[in-house]
Amino acid sequence: MVLFDCRGDDALDTDAVAAHDERYALAVGVEDSRAERSLLNAVVAAMFLAVGIYGIVMPSLTTLFPSAEIARALRNVVCVGPKAAAAGFHEPSLVFMTGTGTVLTDGSGAADFLGQGSCRFALVESRTERAFVQRAEAIGLRYNVAKRIEGYNISQGKAVSIAIFRSEGTE
């Protein structure tokens, strides 16, 4: 069958047009399967990447989250309803993770806080530890080091070392 162009005498061969359309359809089909395969590869790669980052890398970066380590240490104590005072490390994340009852103070204030009863913990950053020890000696406070947490304070860009002191007799 031959069609005629309205604008002139040129004839169009419908068999050639059909063959062209068939080749185009095959080419598009091949491209569609490549696109689907690429999308599937991207989804699988994203899943492996997410597992790697959130399952392996992030949990191993505990030094970047000292507040989480402190909160974990306070959750694992034997006494009921632990109270905490932080000296030198006043990050909002610490208050969020340890509770709004966390007292933010200095080294000597942490020693006074620790002396007010049992099941109390003083979270003392190393730069304020001298003031804590001096005040503890002055008031006759007996205390033990429960744990020391080494980390990195991202907001200040400094390494931190936080000692968790407990009053004597507190577990």
Burial 82-98 (b: 16+ CB within 10 A, else e): bbbbbbbbebeebbebb
In this prediction, residue 14 carries a pLDDT of 59
Q: How far apart are CA 46 and CA 42, in angstroms?
A: 6
How does DSSP classify residue 51?
A: I
Phi, psi of 37 (to 5 degrees): -65, -40
Its pTM stands at: 0.65
Question: What's the mean pLDDT when you consider all of the chain?
Answer: 82
Planar angle of CA 105, 109, 114, nearest 5 degrees? 110
> Would you state the structure tokens that stand for residue 86, as one six-digit string?
């932080």
Residues 6+ apart with CB under 8 A from 86: 94, 98, 102, 103, 104, 105, 110, 123, 124, 125
The confidence band for 30, taking pLDDT boundaries of 50, 70 and 90, is low
Q: pLDDT of 35-90, one tens digit each?
A: 888 899 999 999 999 888 888 877 777 677 899 899 999 998 888 888 999 999 98
Q: pLDDT of 126-142, one tens digit each?
A: 999 999 999 999 999 99
> Would you state the structure tokens that stand for residue 123, as one six-digit string?
């979270």
